[in-house]
C-alpha cells in the first residue's frame, strides 16, 4: 500500500484537518516535476539515473537515514531553516529557498511555504493537545489519592496499604513502580485528611439519583465507606484511565504519522529535483515539539503502571487487555453464512409467493380472512428485518466515508458490530421467519391439518425465541451489543429519568418509525390472551380496550422523545431542545387525530387529520433537513447545503431531501383510501410503514454524518467521563473533557 493511502486510512477521523496536507503537497510537487522536466530534457544519462533510482530497495515507513558527509554542504546552499521563539513559549518554523528565483522555481518556493504552514499547523495542534493532557494529570493524581484512601477505609487493611501512589506527573523517565510499604501514622492521617475533603459526585445516571437530584438540587453526596460505593468509584476511574490512555496513544500515533509524512514528502522532492534538502528540514522537524517531546511516551508508561497496579491486581496481561482492546476481526464464516442465509431467504420468499398463488389463498374468502388475521403476527418481524438491513447498509457507508459511528454511539472498542455481522443477523432472522410462515401456510391450508391448533402458536414460539436470544445472559450471539441495545431501550422507556445520550435519543427516533411494529405487539396480546387465535376473523378492533391502547401505543415513541427533549432542555439549557419537544408534541396531536380517523372514518376527522398532519409533516421535514442534516444553508460555499460534505456528489443530498419530503407524506394513504389489487387493509398500511422505515434508514446516514462533522469541527475524539471525587477546596471541578 502506498504511503499516501495508508496515511489517509490511519488518520483520526475527528482530527483530519490537523494532519499534514499530504495530498496538497503532492499536487505542488507535480508542478515542480513539470518545471524540472521543462528545464532538463531527457538525456541518456538522465534516463539511466532515473532507472537506477527506481531500482533502489523499498525503505518502508521508517524515517530515512541521511549521510551527513555527502549532503551537508549542498543542503546549506538550497534551504535555510529557522525556528523563531515567541513570547508565549511557542515557536514559528520557517524555511527559505536560497536558489535564485525564476527558471520555473516558483513552485519550489510555494512548496516550502506550504510545508512551513503545515508544520506550524501540526505543531500547534499537537502542543495544544499535549497541554490539555498535562492539565488533566494533576486532577487524575488527586482522584487516585482519594481512591487509595477510600480503599484503606473500606477494606480496613491499614497494615498492607500502599503509602504512596504512582504519580503521573513525576518520575516519568522511570518505569519502575513504587514500592509497597506499611504506612506510617503520618501517612494514615494524610489519607484521613483526604477523605475529609472529598465527596462523591452524583452523575444522575439512574432514576433514583435523578429524583434525589431534583429534590435536593445537589450533585454531590457524602462518603458512606461502603463496598458498593468503592466498586462504583473504581469502575468510573477505570473507564477514565482507559479513555486517557487511548487519548495518549492517538497523540503518539498522530506525531509518528505526521513525522513520516514530512519525511516522505521531502524524499519525493529530492527524487524529483535531485536537491538534498530533507536532512536539514527534518532536523528542524525533529527538534520541534512534535518530534522531540517525550511527555506522551512518559505518560503512557506511567498510566500502564498505575492501571496494572490499581485496577488489575498487578496482572499486566489483564490490564493491557483493557487498555489496548483488540479490534473485531472479520471472520470468513460470517460472510459465508450471511450469503447462505440471504439465499435461503430469497428462496423461501419465492416459495411463499408460489404457495399463495398455487392454492389461490387470496381468492378464497375464508383463506384470505385467515391470512389477514395472521399477517400482523409475521409483519412484526418484517419491520425488524428491514430496519436491520438498512442499519447494515448505514454501517457500510459510514465506514466507507470514515464517519466514526463507534465513537458517536459510544460503543466499546472491539465489540461494535460491523455491517457483515448485522447483515448476518438480519438474514438469519428473515430465513427463520419465512420458514415458519411457509410451514404455517402449508399446514393451515392442508385439509388434513385443519384441527391442528399448534399451528396458530408458531408466531408466538418465534417471538419467544427472539426474546430468549436478545436477553440471553451467556456470551453468545454478540452479547455486548445485545446488552447495549437493551440498556438504551431501557433508558428510552424510563425517559426522562436517565441522562440522555446520543445513542438513547437515536434509538428513540428509530422507535418513532416502528409504530406499526409496536402495534403488532399489542395485536399479539389480543390474539393469544383473548383467544382470538381460535377464530377465523379478527375481533380485536371490536374491543374498546384494544382501541384505547391502539391510540396509546402509537403515541408512546413520540412521547418518549418529547420527554428526552425536556430532560436535555433542563440540563443543557438549550432552547433548541425546547423547539424539538414542540415538534414531537405536534406529531403526537397529528398521530392521535389520524388514528381516530382510521377507526371512525368520518368526514370531520378526515379534515382534522389532513390539517394537523400537514402541519406536523412540514415541521418534521424542516427539522430533518435543516437541523438534523444541517443542510439548506444560505451562506454556505455549497449552495443550499453546508460547508463541509462527506459525499463528493452534491446531487445525492438534493435527491435525499426530495425523497425525505415525499416519504414524509406517506400518511396520505390513510385519508385517500387507496385500493390496490392484492394490497388491502393491513397489507397496505404495512407497505407504507416499510416506506417510513426506508426513510428512517436514509435519515440515519445524514444525521450521523452531520454529527460527525460537528465533532470534526470541534476536534472531539473522546467521550466525556465525569470524575467520581469532588474536593471541597476546589473552586471549580471539571469533567474529563472531550478532545
Burial class (CB in 10 A: 0-12, 13-18, 19+), 422: buried
Domain extent listing, the chain: 17-42+70-132+247-323, 140-225, 334-713
Q: State which H helix or E strand residue 93 sits in.
A: strand 91-97
For every residue of 105-162, DSSP letters joined together read THHHHHHHHHHHHHHHHHHHHHHHHHHHHHHHHHHHHHHHHHHHHHHHHHHT-GGG--
- pLDDT at residue 184, rounded to an integer: 52
Pairing of the two strands 220-221 and 725-727: unpaired
- Would you call 295 helix, strand, or coil by DSSP? helix
- In this structure, are residues 240 and 721 in contact, taking their beta carbons and an 8 Å threshold? yes
d(CA 638, CA 627) in angstroms, rounded, equals: 17
| Cell representation of residue 690 | 416499510
User: How many CB atoms are located within 10 Å of the residue 31 CB?
Assistant: 15
d(CA 66, CA 74) in angstroms, rounded, equals: 13
Of 543, 533, 366, 329, nearest in space to 445 by CA: 366
Pairing of the two strands 725-727 and 198-201: antiparallel
User: How many CB atoms are located within 10 Å of the residue 33 CB?
Assistant: 16
Cell 453468545 belongs to 476
d(CA 688, CA 674) in angstroms, rounded, equals: 11
- pLDDT at residue 79, rounded to an integer: 86
User: How many CB atoms are located within 10 Å of the residue 646 CB?
Assistant: 20
- In this structure, are residues 729 and 26 in contact, taking their beta carbons and an 8 Å threshold? no
Q: How far is CA 341 from the centre of its chain?
A: 27
Pairing of the two strands 79-85 and 91-97: antiparallel
d(CA 252, CA 299) in angstroms, rounded, equals: 11
Angstrom distances, CA of residue 45 to CA of 39, 52, 251, 522, 692: 15, 11, 46, 84, 69
- In this structure, are residues 492 and 560 in contact, taking their beta carbons and an 8 Å threshold? yes
Cell 515567541 belongs to 86
Residue 387: what are its φ and ψ, rounded to 5°? -65, -40
- pLDDT at residue 62, rounded to an integer: 42
- In this structure, are residues 504 and 498 in contact, taking their beta carbons and an 8 Å threshold? yes
- In this structure, are residues 657 and 625 in contact, taking their beta carbons and an 8 Å threshold? yes
- Confirm whether pTM is higher than 0.75: yes
Mean pLDDT by 10 residues, the chain (739 residues): 86 92 92 75 50 43 38 60 84 86 77 94 94 90 89 68 51 36 57 82 68 62 81 90 92 94 93 88 93 91 92 88 77 91 96 86 72 85 96 96 92 88 96 94 74 79 94 92 95 90 95 93 86 61 83 94 94 92 95 88 88 94 95 90 92 96 83 55 78 96 95 79 79 47
- In this structure, are residues 190 and 153 in contact, taking their beta carbons and an 8 Å threshold? no
d(CA 561, CA 588) in angstroms, rounded, equals: 11
Of 510, 534, 535, 533, nearest in space to 523 by CA: 533
Cell 376473523 belongs to 537
- In this structure, are residues 419 and 697 in contact, taking their beta carbons and an 8 Å threshold? no
Of 278, 298, 249, nearest in space to 10 by CA: 249
| Cell representation of residue 618 | 412540514
Question: DSSP alpha helices (H): ranges in 412-543?
Answer: 419-445, 458-470, 479-493, 502-512, 515-529
Angstrom distances, CA of residue 486 to CA of 191, 213, 422, 471, 482: 40, 25, 16, 8, 6
DSSP code of residue 549: H
- Would you call 636 helix, strand, or coil by DSSP? coil
Burial class (CB in 10 A: 0-12, 13-18, 19+), 398: buried
- In this structure, are residues 285 and 300 in contact, taking their beta carbons and an 8 Å threshold? no
- pLDDT at residue 532, rounded to an integer: 58
Of 251, 281, 286, 293, nearest in space to 114 by CA: 281
Side-chain half-sphere CA neighbours of 116 within 13 A: 19
User: How many CB atoms are located within 10 Å of the residue 271 CB?
Assistant: 14
Q: How far is CA 637 from the centre of its chain?
A: 27
**Which segments of 605-699 are extended strands (E)?**
none
Q: Encode burial over 602-637: b for 16+ CB neighbours within 10 A, e otherwise.
A: eeebbebbbebbeebbebbbebbbeebbbbeeeeee
Amino acid at each position: 500500500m502506498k504511503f499516501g493511502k495508508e496515511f489517509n486510512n490511519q488518520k483520526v477521523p475527528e482530527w483530519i484537518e490537523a494532519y499534514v496536507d499530504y495530498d496538497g503537497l503532492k499536487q505542488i510537487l507535480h508542478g515542480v516535476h513539470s518545471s524540472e522536466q521543462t528545464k532538463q530534457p531527457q538525456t541518456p544519462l538522465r534516463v539511466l539515473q532515473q532507472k537506477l533510482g527506481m531500482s533502489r530497495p523499498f525503505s518502508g515507513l521508517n524515517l530515512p537515514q541521511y549521510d551527513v558527509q555527502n549532503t551537508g554542504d549542498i543542503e546549506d546552499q538550497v534551504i535555510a531553516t529557522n525556528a523563531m521563539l515567541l513570547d508565549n513559549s511557542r515557536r514559528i518554523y520557517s524555511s527559505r529557498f536560497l536558489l535564485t528565483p525564476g527558471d520555473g522555481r516558483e513552485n519550489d518556493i510555494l512548496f516550502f511555504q506550504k510545508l512551513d504552514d503545515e508544520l506550524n499547523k501540526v505543531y500547534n495542534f499537537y502542543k495544544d493537545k499535549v497541554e490539555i493532557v498535562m492539565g488533566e494529570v494533576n486532577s487524575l493524581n488527586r482522584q487516585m489519592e482519594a481512591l487509595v484512601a477510600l480503599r484503606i477505609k473500606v477494606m480496613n487493611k491499614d497494615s498492607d496499604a500502599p503509602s504512596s501512589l504512582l504519580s503521573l506527573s513525576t518520575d516519568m523517565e522511570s518505569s519502575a513502580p513504587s514500592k509497597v510499604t506499611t504506612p506510617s501514622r503520618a501517612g494514615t492521617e494524610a489519607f484521613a485528611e483526604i477523605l475529609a475533603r472529598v465527596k462523591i459526585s452524583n452523575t444522575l445516571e439512574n432514576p433514583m439519583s435523578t429524583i434525589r437530584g431534583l429534590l435536593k438540587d445537589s450533585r454531590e453526596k457524602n462518603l458512606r465507606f461502603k463496598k458498593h460505593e468503592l466498586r462504583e468509584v473504581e469502575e468510573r476511574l477505570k473507564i477514565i484511565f482507559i479513555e486517557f490512555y487511548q487519548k495518549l496513544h492517538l497523540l503518539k500515533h498522530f506525531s509518528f504519522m505526521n513525522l513520516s509524512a514530512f519525511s516522505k514528502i521531502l524524499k519525493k522532492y529530492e527524487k524529483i529535483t535531485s536537491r538534498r534538502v530533507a536532512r536539514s528540514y527534518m532536523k528542524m522537524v525533529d527538534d520541534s515539539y512534535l518530534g522531540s517531546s517525550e511527555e506522551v511516551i512518559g505518560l503512557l508508561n506511567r498510566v500502564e503502571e498505575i492501571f496494572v497496579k490499581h485496577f488489575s491486581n498487578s496482572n499486566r496481561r489483564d490490564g493491557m487487555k483493557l487498555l489496548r482492546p483488540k479490534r473485531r476481526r472479520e471472520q470468513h464464516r460470517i460472510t459465508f453464512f450471511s450469503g447462505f442465509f440471504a439465499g435461503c431467504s430469497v428462496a423461501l420468499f419465492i416459495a411463499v409467493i408460489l404457495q399463495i398463488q398455487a392454492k389461490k389463498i387470496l381468492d378464497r374468502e375464508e383463506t384470505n380472512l385467515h391470512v389477514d388475521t395472521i399477517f400482523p403476527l409475521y409483519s412484526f418481524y418484517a419491520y425488524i428485518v428491514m430496519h436491520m438491513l438498512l442499519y447494515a447498509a448505514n454501517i457500510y457507508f459510514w465506514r466507507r466515508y470514515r464517519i466514526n459511528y463507534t465513537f458517536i454511539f459510544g460503543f466499546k472498542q472491539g465489540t461494535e458490530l460491523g455491517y457483515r455481522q448485522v447483515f448476518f443477523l438480519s438474514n438469519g432472522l428473515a430465513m427463520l421467519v419465512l420458514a415458519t410462515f411457509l410451514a404455517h401456510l402449508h399446514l393451515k391450508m392442508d385439509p388434513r391439518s385443519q384441527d391442528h391448533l399448534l399451528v396458530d402458536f408458531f408466531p408466538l414460539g418465534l417471538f419467544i425465541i427472539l426474546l430468549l436470544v436478545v436477553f440471553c445472559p451467556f456470551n453468545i450471539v454478540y452479547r455486548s451489543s445485545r446488552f447495549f441495545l437493551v440498556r438504551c431501550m431501557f433508558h428510552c422507556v424510563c425517559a426522562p429519568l436517565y441522562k440522555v445520550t446520543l445513542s438513547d435519543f437515536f434509538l428513540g427516533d428509530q422507535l418513532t418509525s416502528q409504530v406499526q411494529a409496536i402495534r403488532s405487539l399489542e395485536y399479539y396480546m389480543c390474539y393469544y390472551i383473548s383467544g382470538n387465535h381460535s377464530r377465523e376473523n379478527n375481533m380485536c378492533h371490536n374491543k374498546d380496550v384494544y382501541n384505547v391502547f391502539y391510540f396509546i401505543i402509537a403515541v408512546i415513541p413520540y412521547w418518549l422523545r418529547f420527554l428526552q427533549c425536556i430532560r436535555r432542555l433542563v440540563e443543557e439549557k438549550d432552547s433548541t431542545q425546547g423547539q424539538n419537544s414542540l415538534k414531537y408534541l405536534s406529531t403526537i396531536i397529528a398521530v392521535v387525530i389520524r388514528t381516530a380517523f382510521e377507526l371512525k372514518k368520518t368526514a370531520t376527522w378526515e379534515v382534522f387529520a389532513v390539517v394537523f398532519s400537514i402541519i406536523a409533516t412540514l415541521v418534521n421535514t424542516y427539522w430533518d433537513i435543516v437541523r438534523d442534516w444541517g443542510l439548506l444553508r444560505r451562506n454556505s460555499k455549497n449552495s443550499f447545503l453546508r460547508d463541509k460534505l462527506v459525499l463528493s456528489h452534491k446531487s445525492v443530498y438534493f435527491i435525499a431531501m426530495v425523497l425525505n419530503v415525499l416519504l414524509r407524506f406517506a400518511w396520505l394513504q390513510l385519508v385517500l383510501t387507496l385500493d390496490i389489487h392484492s394490497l388491502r387493509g393491513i397489507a397496505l398500511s404495512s407497505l407504507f410503514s416499510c416506506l417510513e422505515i426506508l426513510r428512517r434508514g436514509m435519515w440515519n446516514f445524514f444525521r450521523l454524518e452531520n454529527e460527525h462533522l460537528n465533532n470534526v469541527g470541534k476536534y472531539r475524539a473522546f467521550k466525556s467521563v465525569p470524575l467520581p471525587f469532588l474536593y471541597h477546596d476546589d473552586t471549580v471541578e471539571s469533567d474529563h473533557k472531550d478532545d
